[in-house]
Amino acid sequence: MQFHVMTLFPEMIAQGLANSITGRALREKLISLNCVNIRDYSDNRHGKVDDYSYGGGAGMLIQAEPVYQCYQNLLSQIPDGHKKRVIYVTPQGRPFCQEIAEELVKNDDLIFLCGHYEGVDERVLEEIVTDYVSIGDYVLTGGELPAMVMIDTIARLVDGVLGNDASAEIESFHGKLLEYPQFTRPEVWHDKAVPSVLLSGDAARIRSWRIKESIQRTRERREDLYRDYCRLVQLEEILLR
Ligand code: ADE
């Protein structure tokens, strides 16, 4: 999987993803990250890429042409026949979720466009963007953090990126429930003991304890997901009747 990012702050993304699991995946070439500075495609000797918004209003917009040139240059590096998407990260997009990550990971190349200031000239968005995606109903100063959130989420779905492939599958959201609580050594910490069932060695009991805890936790913390889960269970019961 190749990630490409068009941004005014390429170091922010490259440095942020150079650590931990994504850092290892990059070093092992399981994923690659190509951050390009839109400013390098300015036709202005000061590297200026923003201008006022027609019709007035506060703030500056990124101009269409530097973004377009930057995109054309990226395209020229992507082999013909590669499956790709161009994602504009914006609070006006579809809310990002695990399902979108699972769709996007099926591509060979993902190109992210990060806006800054008040946004990007609409005309270039119309020409190049395939997906508008948001990470939540709040407004950040730029698209770099959302792009990093999405890249991290997608990267861990790439084969081999998580040490143990199974862990991506059984954990939160994939199964519609939040993950059960987990404990590591010591067995007692601040007078709190690890639930005894986890020390029993009885795999079936441990499994049912974990499912029960997952259901309870989802009910307490994410009522919306819990309702979805109940609907699915009811549906399954009807289907199996
Ligand atoms: N850019 C600024 N805020 C954003 C958000 N919430 N999601 C995606 N891109 C953004």
The ipTM estimated for the assembled molecules is 0.97
What are the DSSP E strand ranges found in 42-177? 50-52, 60-62, 84-95, 109-114, 131-134
Same domain assignment for residues 83 and 148: yes
Query: Would you say the CB of residue 10 lies under 6 angstroms from ligand 1?
Result: no
- Domain hosting residue 193, numbered range: 171-240
Q: Among 91, 126, 155, identify where a domain stops.
A: 155
Same domain assignment for residues 62 and 93: yes
Query: Would you say the CB of residue 175 lies under 6 angstroms from ligand 1?
Result: no
Query: Would you say the CB of residue 239 lies under 6 angstroms from ligand 1?
Result: no
Per-residue pLDDT band for 176 (boundaries 50, 70, 90) equals: confident
Instruction: Please tell me what DSSP assigns to residue 86.
Output: E
Count how many domains the chain has.
Answer: 2
Same domain assignment for residues 90 and 142: yes
How far is residue 84's CA from residue 238's CA, in Å, rounded to a whole number?
A: 40
* Beta strand pairing call for 192-193 and 188-189: antiparallel
**Core vs surface per residue 59-84: b (16+ CB within 10 A) or e:** eebbbbebbbbbbeebeeeeeeeeeb
Question: What does the mean pLDDT of the chain come to?
Answer: 94
Q: What is the pTM of this model?
A: 0.92
Ligand 1 pocket: which of 88, 131, 133, 138 to mutate (most atoms within 8 A of CB): 138
Per-residue pLDDT band for 118 (boundaries 50, 70, 90) equals: confident
From residue 189, how far is each of 54, 60, 195 by CA, in Å?
62, 54, 12
Residue 110's pLDDT is: 99
Same domain assignment for residues 66 and 131: yes
Asked, for residue 48, whether it belongs to a domain, the answer is yes
